[in-house]
Structures are given as C-alpha cells and as structure tokens.
C-alpha cells in the first residue's frame, strides 16, 4: 500500500514546502486507493478527479513560487450535504429531487480559500438522520477496519474514507453525534465545536444542537482544520466573533483535574470500551492529571425525552416538509423517523423539550464543577452491524438497548455550547476501534485539544504500515 495515502495534513504540507513531495503525488495515490477499495466500502458518492488534478497542479505551482495558502494542496473529502456551487445535493434520498447549489457552504468556501483540494463527496444516511450510513439511494457504507460493521453515521462516509487512506481530511457535521460516532468507529479524530464556532447553512444552522466540523487522523490535523473553518460569516449571524484561533502546541496535562465517567449515569457500555476508557484515564493520571470518577443523576429517559421533541420539531419537520407526500419513497428507517417525530410533535411542545434540556444541562454543569474537563466513552457499542436499521435495538454484551443508546454523544448536543473532542482509545477484539470523548466547559476549546494531544502522545494510534485496515 502506498504510504502517501495515509500522510497527515501537517506532514504533507511540510514535505510540499521542502519540495520533496507534490500535491499531485498524494492526490494520485489517493485516487488510485479509491479505485482499489471503494467499490467494497462505498464511502464516496462521487469523485471529482479532473477538477482535483487541476487544483493539485495549481497547488504545486504555488509551493514553487512561495504563494502557498494555509491548507495548500491538502485533499479534503466533503460530506455530500456540504453544498458545492453547481453540484446537486440529494442527501441520499429517492423521495426528494434535491437541488443544485447556487453557492458553496461556508465550510467549503473556507477550505477552497485556504487552498484545499476537494476531490470527493462522502456518503451519509438519508437526510443524515441515523447513527449508521446506508440508504436506498447510495447503498451500504462499510467500515474499513471490519466490513461487517458500519462506520457509524451520519458522517460515516467521511470516517470510512479517512480510515481507508482515500483522503487526508474530511468534513463532518454533528446534531446527535454525527461527527464523534463515526470518528470513534473508524479510529479517527472528530471535533464537535461549541455552537456558533463554525458557520453553517440556514435554516438548520439555527438549530442549537448541530454544527459543521472537521475530521482527521491526528489531533494536529484537526486543530489546523478547525482554525481554517471557524469564525464569523455574514451568511450565518449566530457564528461567533471574534474568531478564536487554537494554538499550534499545547502544554501537558500536569495539574489538570479531569472527571471520569464510564457509563454517563447508567448507560450500558461494552466491557472492552470501558476498559479502553480506563486505560486512557490511567495514562493521563500517570502524566500528572488528577482523575476523579464521578456519578451522574440524570437518566437515559431524561436525555431521550429532551432530544426527541427537539428532533421532532426540527429535523422531523424539515424532512416532512421536503418530501411532502412522498414518504413511502423514503428508506425504511427514514419512514420510521418521520412517523415517530410526527407523533412527538403532536404530543409535545418545544417548551417540554426545553425543560428537559435544562435539566440535562444543569446536571452536566454540576458534575463538571471543580474539574477542567470530562472524560467518557464516545460509543457504548463496539460496532453497529452494516446495513442494520437498529429497529430491534443493539446488543451490548448480551443486553438489548435502543438504537439511540449505541453512542454516548447526545447529552453534549443538548449541551451544545460545550466543545467535545473525540479521539481513539484502542481496539476491540472484533478489530473495531474504540474512542473517548473529552468534554470541555462552555467555549473552552483549547482545553479539550490540550487533553486530546496528550492522549495521542501517551497512547499513539497513528496510522502506520502495521496499524491500518487490512483492505
């Protein structure tokens, strides 16, 4: 396998500047990798090889003449919903005709302005409403580490493409864990920035559960990516100003107080995930952090009770409005989602959700008081079977739980002013990666990256010739 396919963005750009590697070389290696493996993985909905080659040649020239920009020549796979001017957006649906984008999404503009090469678009579940990635329109996307499993969702195509060496960076978005779940299931780094940090596309950008964000294979790459895409944009007036820039390096974790929860207050968590989470905690403690195990007083029912009315009035209304009378043409899980959320809208008001959301936020604030951050697993399950709609639940060490309980990400969308960095924690016996979330206090982005960088240094997971999917 060509090692160029797994170079980090920071490594690529250092070599481009030194003149011993060209963006053309990396792009061609990744296009060849895509041709070799994506017919079985189904991570990309389309590739733009010709335009990408032209961009790569332009980037090669810019490195020669000293005009390289902040992400010059680095390949990025864009989540299909992140609109690109002149290209169709269909969100994996047969029940909606979609539209041709008149302009780029803010995240796309930022990447292109920084010199990135967008060479492919990545698969999602229909309308990005599921924790797995498959649809009637695009088929089943599989996990490079173990094809029997999904890469998670909704940014599953992005996670799979990174794990397979088909791209250097990938865009993602997160409304219930759609960045962090796929990052954990595919052994990558994903960042759910606090609400407003990264501008989005309306009207869903007004939804305070969601946000666009970065995914990469290293913490440094995600820092670089975040710095490029964050900051105010006139198309999204909730985007925060002034722009916050993360530092290029971070101090160690000596003296930090980190709260630890393995089950977030009674969720069923696979034994291997719990063990790997405690392994991360032990490494941080050895490095000088104080780790204190904490208990949550909230319940799973409270969290789901807060989220479902919100999803019903926002995502459910959005999907229903787009497809109109074509609900029967939706994928089976999307039909179920429309019906469930229609019932929720009929029985609950947004104020009902607000009361439950406040209770969730209040409890997280209580638990985190006196600590610099919270450490917990990203997922509860060691994998979601590929192609499974999860309507019968998920088996976690012999206990069947609801599909919403396969990941442990949702509380931090309810508390979406908190930054959350998802980093790998190891592997399960089935070959699937596992991960942890580092949860910060509101808008304290730097601390979660400080801890994430320490975890990466203490327990390296960098993709090497001996540590990567056996494609």
Record the tokens describing residue 152, joined without a space: 């998670």
Residue 99 bridge partners (DSSP): 89
- Tell me the HSE value of 204 on the side-chain side, using a 13 A CA sphere: 21
Record the tokens describing residue 269, joined without a space: 């968590």
User: Which residue in 22, 59, 79, 150 is the catalytic one?
Assistant: 79
Q: Please, are residues 229 and 198 in contact by the beta-carbon 8 Å criterion?
A: yes
User: Which residue in 154, 158, 205, 415 is the catalytic one?
Assistant: 154
Q: Please, are residues 260 and 292 in contact by the beta-carbon 8 Å criterion?
A: yes
Residue 154: active-site member: yes
Helix axes 49-65, 23-41, angle to 10 degrees: 150
| b/e 147-169 (16+ beta carbons within 10 angstroms → b) | bebbbbbbbbbbbbbbbbbbbbb
Q: Please, are residues 131 and 152 in contact by the beta-carbon 8 Å criterion?
A: yes
Within a 10 A sphere around the Cβ of 459, how many other Cβ atoms?
Answer: 17
Within a 10 A sphere around the Cβ of 434, how many other Cβ atoms?
Answer: 27
Record the tokens describing residue 242, joined without a space: 């002034």
Residue 158: active-site member: no
CA distance to 12, 54, 64, 93, 94, per residue, from 25 (Å): 10, 13, 15, 35, 37
Residue 178: active-site member: yes
Give CA 378 to chain center in angstroms: 11
User: Which residue in 178, 205, 268, 425 is the catalytic one?
Assistant: 178
Active site residues: 79, 154, 178
């Amino acid at each position: 396998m060509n090692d160029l396919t797994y170079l980090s963005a920071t490594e690529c750009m250092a070599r481009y500047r030194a003149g011993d590697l060209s963006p053309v070389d990396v792009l061609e290696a990744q296009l060849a990798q895509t041709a070799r493996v994506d017919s079985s993985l189904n991570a990309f909905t389309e590739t733009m090889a010709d335009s990408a080659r032209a961009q790569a040649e332009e980037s090669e020239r810019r490195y020669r003449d000293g005009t390289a920009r902040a992400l010059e020549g680095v390949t990025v796979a864009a989540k299909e919903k992140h609109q690109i001017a002149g290209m169709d957006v269909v969100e994996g649906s047969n029940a909606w005709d979609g539209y041709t984008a008149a302009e780029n999404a803010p995240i796309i503009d930022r990447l292109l302005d920084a010199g990135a090469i967008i060479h492919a678009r990545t698969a999602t579940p229909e309308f990005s409403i599921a924790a797995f990635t498959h649809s009637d329109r695009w088929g089943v996307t599989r996990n490079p580490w173990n094809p029997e499993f999904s890469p998670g969702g909704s940014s599953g195509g992005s996670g799979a493409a990174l794990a397979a060496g088909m791209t250097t960076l990938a865009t993602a978005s997160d409304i219930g864990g759609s960045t962090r779940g796929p990052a954990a299931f595919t052994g990558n780094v994903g960042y759910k920035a606090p609400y407003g940090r990264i501008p989005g596309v309306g009207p869903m950008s007004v939804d305070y559960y969601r946000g666009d964000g970065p995914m990469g294979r290293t913490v440094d790459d995600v820092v670089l990516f975040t710095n490029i895409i964050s900051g105010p944009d006139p198309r999204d007036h909730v985007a925060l100003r002034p722009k916050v820039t993360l530092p290029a390096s971070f101090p160690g974790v000596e003296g930090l107080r980190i709260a630890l929860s393995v089950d977030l207050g009674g969720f069923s968590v696979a034994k291997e995930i719990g063990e790997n989470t405690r392994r991360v905690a032990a490494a941080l403690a050895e490095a000088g952090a104080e780790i204190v195990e904490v208990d949550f007083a909230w319940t799973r029912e409270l969290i789901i009770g807060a989220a479902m009315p919100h999803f019903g009035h926002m995502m459910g209304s959005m999907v229903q409005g787009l497809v109109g009378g074509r609900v029967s043409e939706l994928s089976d899980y999307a039909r179920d989602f429309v019906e469930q959320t229609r019932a929720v809208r009929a029985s609950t008001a947004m104020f009902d959700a607000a009361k439950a959301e406040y209770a969730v936020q209040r409890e997280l604030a209580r638990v985190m008081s006196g600590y610099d951050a919270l450490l917990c697993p990203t997922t509860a399950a060691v994998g979601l079977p590929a192609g499974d709609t999860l309507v019968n639940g998920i088996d976690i060490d012999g206990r069947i739980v609801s599909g919403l309980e396969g990941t442990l990400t949702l509380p931090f969308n309810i508390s979406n002013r908190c930054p959350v960095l998802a980093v790998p924690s190891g592997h399960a016996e089935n070959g699937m990666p596992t991960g942890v979330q580092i949860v910060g206090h509101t808008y304290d982005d730097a601390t979660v990256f400080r801890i994430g960088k320490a975890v990466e240094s203490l327990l390296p997971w960098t993709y090497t010739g001996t540590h990567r999917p056996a494609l």
